[in-house]
Structure 1
Amino acid sequence: MSSKSFLTRAYPIMKKNNPATPIMLREAAGTVPKVYARYEFGQEKSQSLEGLSDKQIEETVTSLVKNEV
């Protein structure tokens, strides 16, 4: 599962570099892996991570952080 691999590798780095940013992880069997980002004024975006490689997940998260999606 690429999403678990990505989180195991990247979560400590993300949290170290962004200690004030809330990052919530939730594991659930039988669900499609997704990443959500919440911005100012209640704006929220999500992207499916299903079938993505570790690198593609990193690119998806980066684009959400930069608000490019």
Structure 2
Amino acid sequence: MAAAVVRSLGSLSRNLREVRVHLCQSSAASKGARDFVEQNYVALKTVNPDFPFLIRECSGVQARLWARYDFGQERSVAVDNMTADQVAKALQTLAQSKP
């Protein structure tokens, strides 16, 4: 399911300037975010090779997706306790929305 969402994203750079994923390397709450990155990072970078898709790991941090748009505007969504599919859908929502 997440792979289908990633394919549907196409070019992330249409609306976004940067995506950051904040996650904990070991917490159960960040498992879905870790799984999303492990399963989809290569596909996202293949489709969007020059797009900044950043992974930030920190012990004990809340799993969160950050999207940066034009003029430095940012939006974020918490992805704690989500599955990889739910994280992919959250990214899709951020990519399709306007700041």
Q: TM-score, normalised by structure 1?
A: 0.91
Aligned to 2:92: 62
Secondary structure of the structure 2 residue equivalent to 1:16: helix
Amino acid at match of 2:62: V
Q: Which has the higher strand share?
A: 2
Aligned to 2:26: none
Q: Which runs of 4+ in 1 moved over 2 A?
A: none
Alignment of 1:1-69 (within 5 A): 1-67=31-97
Q: Deviations over 1:10-42 (max 9, x none)?
A: 110011101121011011111101110100111
Higher relative contact order structure (alpha carbons within 8 Å, sequence separation ≥ 6) = 2
Amino acid at match of 1:7: V
Structure 2: how far apart are the matches of 1:43 and 1:2?
26
Structure 2: how far apart are the matches of 1:57 and 1:68?
18
Q: TM-score, normalised by structure 2?
A: 0.65
Q: CA RMSD in A?
A: 1.4
